[in-house]
Structure 1
């Protein structure tokens, strides 16, 4: 197929701009590279990225592309591992417009748009005791569109609860722009008339396949296993109706047959009682015999791990000591059992134990129901893939493949695979997988830069394909999708007859071959060796990134500019281009200049540097640390200014309070609307250097309250350190109920709890240093932290008294910077550990919202914060998918669009709440602005609901 010309893409963008806003038609070098990268080891850079927000827009895009012969590829979360979500043509990327959902039949079904994250679907179903069937390991990040398009399964899903088996209905848009709603009889009938050739063609292929006994039996055998290689040919033997065949062919089609705009799943029961055992066996053969014995027992999951896999995690914190002492050749099964109640669980555990009688284990098999140990066992299993990623050499990628053997031949298959790996020079390969399904993942580091590496990889894959697909009659792709990586081997696995059938299916749906060409089906025998992704060294902080995308869903800038993964992609590309030096071509020089010009805003200015990405990253990368390093380099010339601000900090905070007072006076004269417009104009004229005024801007804080005398002799003492934010920002002007500053609330609550409060000397001069650190001014940040450490030691008498800081991010920043004798808490932890036992609570008859700050997430305080709020108020709302608020210290003023993007949809979720509560004063400003309700310190809620205790 001839590639479209530059002029064709330019014309396409011009035509699409007539109906789609220009900001959703993207063709600049930085964002096409960033948005075009997925979790696979392939790289193709799209010529145009389009973000349609509705079915109508998508239909127009497809129509215009088809009219010009332009290929299109659909992208949801981009966690796909096999290259099915990359393109050098038009990439259709899902945004906010595709996150709709609806619960049906009291939770027995759920209707989802493709942009909904899998874990969010389960969150919606949880109140009904149900979940969706598929449970891929990436469920916290991957989207429904990818789950369905890849027929992703997972740990407990097997073949009975995958998308194919739990599909009820879908809405699909075909290559010609036609929309079919399989739940609507009128739509089905209209489609039968308008697309009679397609429907009749599918029914003909079904009849021919069922009549061909050998082929039909082969299809049934292949889908007895987990299988995502090629198209879902089981639809041809499972159904006779053309619409039903079409519906099920869409599952696992990887965007090559059409676009799933809505899918309705039949949900499955989520049994609440859970137990797990980590069983160790002397060798792989015994482990596989145990797997076969467990097959008929009532287990939810059986996960196999070989000795190399266990060795890769044995030295990580928290791992059981027994992992280190296992002999070579040993293997393990993680056995998960679930039940409707405790009696059901006990019965099932006993049945599992009986299944293993007579099979030798290295130690007795013991089940645990203790949550921490249960989670530890699953942490071992889920940590295997990233464990390889963390230790690989810089510049190499991580290959993860997933094959399936007939379970009765699993032990033979494992041994044969291991021999193949050693023969081709991959002794470090680890094996693990979903044992009940005969589904094995093998993971190894792979470089492509050195001579011979591509050829070595090709030799390995050729032999693996022959072994699994031909000799054992297994699946070359059990659950990760065919993609580009296995497309050259589809015919080898399925044979010429079934392969020809797949091409007929493709021709019926997409005769011009415009939907994700070269994915699943390809005539190119070396496709899997082309367009390999470079992973050059960029910075030691991020060089271990495997570009999986697990970080993206928690990033506050994900819908505005870039995600952590995409920032790393840009850093790597710039490093690669810079390393070329004088050898760079003119095009590469221009590309580097374009990336440098655009990265300031996209990479730096819109990064909240909150570190939430590290909480989701398999290898613990905090991309915020990289951005701070870049700021340090960029702002090195401002170190002198930072030094002066730090040495005159009390004066700076006084000026800030004065500016708030002036702004308040101006606002009283101009009103909110005129004030906001005037501020916006001034900000634009200043090139973004002036801050944006917001109606949620508080009054100046009354610091005089810190001069109060001691509250009484003989009481327990506490050191109270108000942060610089609470010393500057007082109560909200718009809060008609709470007129006190956070400092006043805190002091009143401590008095009620019977504490004598100690305020450190020179409190107006003190700062934790976070404000400097976030700007890359590390030296001054260190100075301020040391200064504060000294004063807190004095005030607390060397750690004799507990210390309360009223702002959570400050406490997180100080955790590794203060003397170990100092016990510093933020409001949630202090209330839980020191206040609740001293107070009597009277629950308020209110519905309130809680925002768990990113720092609270890092410190593991989310559950405590919600529990504290529930003890104080009748109903507590925790808005879904609102992670970091994006205010990020001062970015709510300097980059207000980040705060707005991060909190999009907040107001709808907190509607009806009397107020919102959190533990960071600056976050509360942005939350109040975009939540359209007052936001206050969590201590305010506790103060309102509490009375002095006994």
Structure 2
């Protein structure tokens, strides 16, 4: 570590001199995070740099050339082939160089910086009825620079082809720091007045023309043979008959020839109408057999997947997460488009009839509902993550996830490929772009042992020979990277391999740009990331991690880098990343650093690591990742475990005591609520807050007296036999006992009379602050009381406490009693959804509801959503603030987290609250938030305007006067 740091000092000093203000990170907290992408590989960089302009890139490339340090360009870091990791300096374009510079709707072009996220571009061009054609499944977080690097395609490549088809011009920096522009006519200096750059570009052009002229025959016969032939360099674009298109030739070079800083891309018109046809099959080979017929109908997409992905989605996100699929064990999605919806639907129905007549389908249907279509596409788009960790806990890996053949050859290739898997005793999860002949597969390789790695090498060699025998390509869109570069000699002649090497040498004679890929590739089994716990980390966790074979180490290994946590929209994960935009604040960044901690290489002090502590600091413990992450990373649990181990035997942060022990202190405060509240509202309250590490920018919620709960429940008694237990949690008891009374009345009205259970605690605050030993004691007492032979449902009004009882209690205690209690737990929404009498009708409800669903309820109770319940009960419009409220239990009350808490609130909740005034007299709008944290944040944001959040129980209370949320 010391030698590396010393060697970096001249480089960092040079960058400080030539690019003032350039952000350069060299510590383990950054280099450990950027050592990974979405592949099997781990290559720690020496530094991570965040350029803000092309001039910054020039400065970095020149400084690295002087120092002999390699440079790797990186976008969203979602490469599955190891294209986005490197041993020198990693340039992260996604952080700052992410501007859309120009959109020309007449010319149908856009000029964008390399770090622009695809969905951001598509959102901007949609205003003009245009879009960017290629659409990888990672569209919510992949960058245009990354797509250019590996010539990405996506689901609709049947219609739109590869990224290279849509590139007008590339703005690049060469290996010696010259800015140039590559377009359809060749290469030119970006500044025609820079005579040195003009001479350098002219020399490059002449050398490349000479190389192409000397190798016309192999280029014409070996390249561009199938639609998805991405492997190698696409030198056929430089042939005389193709006009020396340097822009398209550089697409797919994986940053190994030049650094792309910006691009001018072509746009396509958005379809006026489209529909989705889902087809079921007994087998993926049967599905592939139907592809040639489907292609005759000119679809926009033909996507395939097998049963393992669907089963995993349903297990992780609930049985209703996948609807609309016909019976079968494999499926095709076929999308058709046109100018008229009726005509498109009719074509889809006609195609369905044709395919049924051919006899291979087990069923099919036209999916007309836009919501259902979005849900189905999400299953396909999450395929890489869902296939990584399946229902049975088995792990699978990329490495041979991207082969492509001609579509008419697909069925034969799949038939032979499955025989090859069987002969090696391997299992593969299949999905992919069947209409383009491109198959993605994750395989249960053993990458942890020498024998397993040797077996993997043998399989990959035979797989390469197999796809070549079918006229195909090793890579169909992910690029060769570190996974397939070594196998290019199986696919191409020695002369072609030498031509690739010569092309790179012309651009990068010193081999500093993304070394180890395509040319002079690293061994495909070098630098593998899979690890076993090191001696510096005795992994004896308190959480049981029952779904992970290797306990904590296996749990953090769930992250395979697909990066869905880096999305800016959709789902709830990851609020801190959405607020800061920093990789280290994403679920993926934290998981990768935890993997480094387990490995014990860069992060060498195990549980005491300050780098890991700092990376976890802004995690809100919202648990959304446990649901939204395709592989089920649960960062809230990992954080709780880490904090427990990190502070074991040491003084903790002050807020861990003041907020972590809140159930106890609030219970004591209830004996003298009035004087305590008066004290806390004055100067003494602010002093106590500062002493406890609590922000003074929020009002401390008023404590309720112990008599308040008894009064609230007194009027809720019905005299009927109780069918359920109402668990009165610490937050409800201490701060809003009226919710317990309302919940009891509503449940009785719905045919679920309850008896209240008071004085128990789920242990949540001790879990979120990492005080797990105390949490276990509290939980054990609660479980002992509840597990008394009673099998009645346990209904919890506070969603976070319900989630703790449902998941944290059994995973922390690990007992049968805890699991029995957890199985009985329902949220208030869940009880009304699953247990209410069929003829129950609530009182009249408002027309409009602004809803803030608690993150823990969203993550843990997937089958019962407040939005769906409100819709079924007759609310016409539910405007849900999809995302975390930002308060998140203790997080938003902690002094150092207040600003982040408010930034998270600004993402979804605050705009909804600000919009309430605009509704005015259009209809009464009520704000509903079952979570105490959510309601407290809403009061903080809008309480001065008279807006108060109601618990759903208060909204449905048959004895209430229907209080509204608007002023």
TM interval, shorter chain, is 0.7 to 0.9
TM-superposition CA deviations, 1:250-285 (whole Å, max 9, x none): 45534641133466551552566533333326794x
2:836 counterpart of 1:825: no
What is the aligned counterpart of 1:922 among 919, 922, 933? Answer: 933
2:553 counterpart of 1:547: no
TM-superposition CA deviations, 1:789-835 (whole Å, max 9, x none): 699x9xxx977xx9673x442343345676877764269989x9999
TM-superposition CA deviations, 1:811-870 (whole Å, max 9, x none): 43345676877764269989x9999952353669xxx89687453355457782898899
Determine the C-alpha separation between the residues in 2 that align with 1:874 and 1:411.
Answer: 47
Determine the C-alpha separation between the residues in 1 that align with 2:125 and 2:670.
Answer: 48
Deviation larger for 173-182 or 317-326: 317-326
The alignment partner of 1:399 has SS state of coil
Cα distance, 1:477 vs structure 2: 0.6
Cα distance, 1:139 vs structure 2: 3.3
Label 1:705 to 1:220 Cα distance change in 2 as closer, same or farther (>3 A): same
The alignment partner of 1:401 has SS state of coil
The alignment partner of 1:528 has SS state of coil
Aligned residue number for residue 801 of structure 2: 810
Label 1:181 to 1:813 Cα distance change in 2 as closer, same or farther (>3 A): farther
Deviation larger for 348-357 or 920-929: 920-929
Aligned residue number for residue 225 of structure 1: 227
Cα distance, 1:408 vs structure 2: 3.0
Label 1:337 to 1:246 Cα distance change in 2 as closer, same or farther (>3 A): closer
2:402 counterpart of 1:399: no
Determine the C-alpha separation between the residues in 2 that align with 1:530 and 1:240.
Answer: 38
The alignment partner of 2:801 has SS state of helix
Q: Is the 8 A contact 2:276 2:336 kept in 1?
A: yes
Q: Is the 8 A contact 1:34 1:566 kept in 2?
A: yes
The alignment partner of 1:97 has SS state of coil
Label 1:151 to 1:710 Cα distance change in 2 as closer, same or farther (>3 A): same
TM-superposition CA deviations, 1:105-139 (whole Å, max 9, x none): 67976665544544555566667776542332333
The alignment partner of 1:274 has SS state of strand
Determine the C-alpha separation between the residues in 2 that align with 1:779 and 1:104.
Answer: 57
TM-superposition CA deviations, 1:221-274 (whole Å, max 9, x none): 33x4112212333532599777x6236624553464113346655155256653
Aligned residue number for residue 275 of structure 1: 276
Determine the C-alpha separation between the residues in 2 that align with 1:947 and 1:857.
Answer: 32
Label 1:551 to 1:322 Cα distance change in 2 as closer, same or farther (>3 A): closer
Q: Is the 8 A contact 2:388 2:397 kept in 1?
A: no
The alignment partner of 1:43 has SS state of coil
Cα distance, 1:82 vs structure 2: 1.0
Matches within 5 A, 1:135-150: 135-150=135-150
Aligned residue number for residue 844 of structure 2: 839
Matches within 5 A, 1:311-330: 318=319
Determine the C-alpha separation between the residues in 2 that align with 1:656 and 1:202.
Answer: 81
Determine the C-alpha separation between the residues in 1 that align with 2:323 and 2:732.
Answer: 46
TM-superposition CA deviations, 1:748-773 (whole Å, max 9, x none): 9999999899998796x554432233
Aligned residue number for residue 546 of structure 2: none
The alignment partner of 2:72 has SS state of strand
Q: Show structure 2 runs of 5+ residues with no match.
A: 534-538, 540-549, 567-572, 810-820, 917-926
Determine the C-alpha separation between the residues in 1 that align with 2:832 and 2:628.
Answer: 23
What is the aligned counterpart of 1:480 among 460, 469, 478? Answer: 478
Aligned residue number for residue 775 of structure 2: 778
Q: Is the 8 A contact 1:76 1:146 kept in 2?
A: yes
Deviation larger for 455-464 or 496-505: 496-505
Cα distance, 1:660 vs structure 2: 6.7
Aligned Cα root-mean-square deviation (Å): 5.8
Determine the C-alpha separation between the residues in 2 that align with 1:727 and 1:33.
Answer: 44
Determine the C-alpha separation between the residues in 2 that align with 1:298 and 1:840.
Answer: 48
Cα distance, 1:924 vs structure 2: 6.0
2:366 counterpart of 1:347: no
Determine the C-alpha separation between the residues in 1 that align with 2:209 and 2:347.
Answer: 41
Q: Is the 8 A contact 2:858 2:865 kept in 1?
A: yes
Aligned residue number for residue 815 of structure 2: none
Label 1:54 to 1:746 Cα distance change in 2 as closer, same or farther (>3 A): farther
Q: Is the 8 A contact 1:51 1:92 kept in 2?
A: yes
Q: Is the 8 A contact 2:448 2:531 kept in 1?
A: no
Aligned residue number for residue 623 of structure 2: 611
2:614 counterpart of 1:602: yes
Aligned residue number for residue 736 of structure 1: none
Q: Is the 8 A contact 1:141 1:549 kept in 2?
A: no
Determine the C-alpha separation between the residues in 1 that align with 2:30 and 2:471.
Answer: 43
Aligned residue number for residue 303 of structure 2: 303
Determine the C-alpha separation between the residues in 2 that align with 1:266 and 1:140.
Answer: 18
Cα distance, 1:691 vs structure 2: 1.1
Cα distance, 1:679 vs structure 2: 9.6
Matches within 5 A, 1:547-946: 547-550=560-563, 552-553=565-566, 554-558=573-577, 559=582, 561=584, 563-577=586-600, 592-593=604-605, 596-598=608-610, 601-602=613-614, 605-633=617-645, 650-651=667-668, 662=679, 664-666=681-683, 690-698=692-700, 700-701=702-703, 707=711, 724-725=730-731, 765=759, 767-774=761-768, 775=770, 776=772, 777-783=774-780, 785-786=782-783, 805=797, 807-815=798-806, 824-825=827-828, 837-839=842-844, 841=846, 853=855, 855-856=857-858, 858-860=860-862, 864=867, 878=881, 883-884=883-884, 887-894=887-894, 896-897=896-897, 900=900, 903=903, 906=906, 914=914, 918-923=929-934, 938-939=949-950
The alignment partner of 1:624 has SS state of helix
Label 1:382 to 1:11 Cα distance change in 2 as closer, same or farther (>3 A): closer
The alignment partner of 1:903 has SS state of helix
Label 1:661 to 1:28 Cα distance change in 2 as closer, same or farther (>3 A): farther
Label 1:435 to 1:202 Cα distance change in 2 as closer, same or farther (>3 A): farther
Aligned residue number for residue 163 of structure 1: 163
Label 1:104 to 1:287 Cα distance change in 2 as closer, same or farther (>3 A): same
Cα distance, 1:289 vs structure 2: 3.8
The alignment partner of 1:67 has SS state of helix
Cα distance, 1:74 vs structure 2: 2.2
Determine the C-alpha separation between the residues in 1 that align with 2:417 and 2:902.
Answer: 46
Aligned residue number for residue 921 of structure 2: none
Q: Is the 8 A contact 2:181 2:190 kept in 1?
A: no
Cα distance, 1:551 vs structure 2: 5.1
Determine the C-alpha separation between the residues in 2 that align with 1:382 and 1:313.
Answer: 9
Cα distance, 1:711 vs structure 2: 6.8
Matches within 5 A, 1:7-26: 7-17=6-16, 24-26=23-25
Label 1:213 to 1:355 Cα distance change in 2 as closer, same or farther (>3 A): farther
Determine the C-alpha separation between the residues in 1 that align with 2:314 and 2:714.
Answer: 53
Determine the C-alpha separation between the residues in 1 that align with 2:19 and 2:872.
Answer: 43
Label 1:635 to 1:196 Cα distance change in 2 as closer, same or farther (>3 A): closer
Aligned residue number for residue 414 of structure 1: 414
Q: Is the 8 A contact 2:94 2:114 kept in 1?
A: no
Label 1:311 to 1:852 Cα distance change in 2 as closer, same or farther (>3 A): closer
Q: Is the 8 A contact 1:541 1:621 kept in 2?
A: no
Determine the C-alpha separation between the residues in 1 that align with 2:877 and 2:311.
Answer: 49
In the superposition, the TM-score normalised over structure 1's length comes to 0.75
Label 1:309 to 1:612 Cα distance change in 2 as closer, same or farther (>3 A): closer
Q: Is the 8 A contact 2:607 2:646 kept in 1?
A: no
Determine the C-alpha separation between the residues in 2 that align with 1:516 and 1:841.
Answer: 59
Determine the C-alpha separation between the residues in 1 that align with 2:682 and 2:177.
Answer: 57
2:64 counterpart of 1:52: no
Label 1:239 to 1:921 Cα distance change in 2 as closer, same or farther (>3 A): farther
Q: Is the 8 A contact 2:140 2:564 kept in 1?
A: no
Q: Show structure 1 runs of 5+ residues with no match.
A: 578-587, 669-674, 684-689, 730-741
Cα distance, 1:478 vs structure 2: 0.4
Determine the C-alpha separation between the residues in 1 that align with 2:663 and 2:854.
Answer: 30
Aligned residue number for residue 739 of structure 1: none
Aligned length: 883
Q: Is the 8 A contact 1:82 1:480 kept in 2?
A: yes
